[in-house]
Amino acid sequence: MPSSDTVHIIGAGLAGLAAAVRLSAQGRRIVVHEATGQPGGRCRSYYDHVTGMVIDNGTHLLLSGNHAAMSYLKAIGAGHLLEGPPSAEFEFIDLPTAQRWTVRFNDGQIPWWIFDKSRRVPQTRVRDYLPLMRLMWTSADKPLSELMRCEGPLYERLLEPLFLAALNIEPLHGSGKLAGRIIRETLALGGQACRPLIAPGGIGDAFVAPALRTLREQGVEMTLQHPLHALVFDGDRVAGLDFGEETVSLGEGDRVILAVPAYAATVMVPGLSAPTAFRGIVNAHFRVDPPARAPRMIGVVNGTTEWIFALPGRVAVTVSDAGDLIDMPRAELAQTIWNEVAKVLGLSDTLPPWQIVRERRATFAATPEENAKRPQPVTRWRNLVLAGDWTDTGLPATIEGAVRSGHRAAELVAGEARSKKAA
Ligand SMILES: Cc1cc2nc3c(=O)[nH]c(=O)nc-3n(C[C@H](O)[C@H](O)[C@H](O)COP(=O)(O)OP(=O)(O)OC[C@H]3O[C@@H](n4cnc5c(N)ncnc54)[C@H](O)[C@@H]3O)c2cc1C
């Protein structure tokens, strides 16, 4: 590709940003077009006037084995902005009984923790863990409930909360193939791949602002509030980008990476197979100083609350596959969640300043049916590549999946340029 050729990236979520960062080092013209006034997409922070705090649309959890996300953070100089314990530990509480337990994975790949009563899930036996081996290599995609026994202490006290968080769907209905992949990329690699990492200073400061700085330094153009209305097709290529008031004509060497959500892509790309069902996530934010001894992160079993994050000057709660909670009156929901938080952290029942963030289409529904609809990045138009957490990454809709899809799209565009040069 001659250096004057342009790569247009549509959508400045993490997939689009990751693609732009990957390509930016290669000295070609890149223009990112974002529909809204703020890059980051589903991974963003903003100032909330009600609580007087900068909050995340959702506290995003990564695992140390998310290698694409780590390499993206490294490329934008932000690796140090994630924090987590030195080894993989997950603390849980059963809300009705207040029983607490901590699962402690050992660092290496041989899972000694399963053989150690003080590290594994209480009331479990070594043989309870064997079905996980089968799940890792399952080939046909079926609901998890058809592939393993979804009951008992191991399931209820570790696997259910883990799969619910990662798949954002009631795990019984979740894709067994995606669940198996999660195990393969985390537990099977040992504790050093499972350290939980969060951005205590906010996801905007960790994942977005440093990327924008990097892209600016590399001369990448970023146009905000510039929604693409339609792709203009001509035979086997995209010939133009229709932004409503203007249409940008594409030259022979120009390329397009479409990194918008599935529901936006299906409107623009004829005949595109993509997930059409989605699941919501609710986050609650409370302006309060957590007790000094509060765990940074604790999983809650048998409550409305699923994960509590104790951060400087605030407490955040995540509820995945939030279903009916999305439409519950906000004040009632805040009080319900706060009552649980107060119980777990030993705080007063008095509701502190709060905010509820409801993301109705947080992720595609990770069922076998929806998973089967995910497309490959290459399309039948030779200059159009797809990216996004909903494309066929083999992973659930996560930061890791979004970044991998962005990298893959960038490599497809760059690889094609390399082979042209060599010819
Ligand atoms: C509340 C919540 C909590 C989450 N928690 C976690 C977590 O703990 N761990 C984890 O790994 N993942 C988590 N995720 C998932 C993660 O945020 C997403 O997988 C990831 O951000 C998706 O990035 P993306 O670039 O694929 O899509 P998006 O972020 O949706 O980006 C698409 C971009 O395209 C733009 N766009 C749309 N239409 C147009 C158009 N016509 N023209 C131009 N631009 C357009 C959008 O405005 C957006 O900026 C969470 C998601 C949510 C919502």
pLDDT at 3: 47
Cβ-Cβ contacts under 8 Å for 232 (sequence gap 6 or more): 238, 239, 240, 241, 242, 247
Query: Is 80 exceeded by the pLDDT of residue 238?
Result: yes
Contact 134, 142 (CB under 8 A): no
3-state secondary structure of 347: coil
d(CA 357, CA 245): 33
What's the mean pLDDT in 145-167?
A: 97
Identify the residue with better confidence: 323 or 75.
75
- Give the DSSP letter of residue 249: E
8 Å CB contact between 41 and 12: yes
Q: Which residues line ligand 1 (CB under 6 A)?
A: 10-16, 33-36, 41-43, 57-58, 60-62, 227-228, 259-261, 264, 281, 283, 359, 362-363, 388-389, 397-400, 402
Question: Which amino acid would we find at residue 329?
Answer: P
pLDDT 10s digits, 34-45: 999 999 999 999
Spatial CB neighbours of 226, under 8 Å, sequence gap ≥ 6: 33, 34, 35, 243
* 235-240: average pLDDT: 98
Nearest CA to ligand 1 atom 27: 13
Provide mean pLDDT across the span 99-127: 96
H-helix or E-strand containing 409? helix 399-422
Q: How confident is the model at residue 2 (pLDDT cuts 50, 70, 90)?
A: very low
Confidence of residue 417 (pLDDT cuts 50, 70, 90): low
324-351: average pLDDT: 96
The candidate with the shortest Cα–Cα distance to 60, out of 52, 69, 68, is 69
State the distance from the centre of ligand 1 to the C-alpha of 336, rounded, in angstroms. Answer: 27
pLDDT tens-digit series, residues 167-179: 999 999 999 999 9
**Bridge partners (DSSP) listed for residue 198:** 83
Contact of 253 with 2, CB cutoff 8 Å: yes
Sorting pLDDT into bands at 50, 70 and 90, what band is 415? confident
Q: Which of 162, 142, 141, 159 is nearest to 151 (CA)?
A: 159
Q: For position 1, what pLDDT does the model report? A: 42
Q: For residues 294 and 346, what is the distance between their CA atoms, to the nearest angstrom?
A: 9
Using the mean position of ligand 1's atoms as its centre, give its distance from the Cα of residue 157 in Å: 29
> Distance (Å, rounded) from C-alpha 183 to C-alpha 65?
11
